[in-house]
Structure 1
Amino acid sequence: MFLPIMFMLASITISTDDDLPAKSKNAPENKIESFWAGSRIQAAKTEAEDRNVPLIMVILKDGDPVCQQ
């Protein structure tokens, strides 16, 4: 049986100053430095859409070391 699905939302940007336009959507003022985790798929989808970030799904099984913490 699987534990509740965890969702993490993050913004990862790899670029140089030369290849970014002046008003890039990846500009530092628009970076998201936090993540959201939960077990409700619809809530995670809504959060991702509101923040305009990708949705990353991590599925953990009972007994995994990370589940014990």
Structure 2
Amino acid sequence: MPFLAYPPDLRKLVYTTNEIESRNSRFRQATRRSGHFPNGQAALKVLYLVIRNPLKNRSNITGKVVHGER
């Protein structure tokens, strides 16, 4: 994989970007499913629950870079 040829600092940046995109996607999914929120507090609660529930099918749910990993 050409991705692994990049230095660890650059790989960390890419991992972080992917994690942000993944989290935003999960936020959009959760708010779309819930529809209308009675108030801002209800919307924040849904987003909080999305953050608290990691994806079970991902090997690296935190997005942390482990140096030397292949």
Q: Bin the TM-score by the shorter chain.
A: under 0.3
Whichever structure has more helix as a proportion of its residues is 2
**Normalization by structure 2: what TM-score?**
0.26
Query: Using CA pairs below 8 Å that are at least 6 residues apart, which structure has the higher relative contact order?
Result: 1
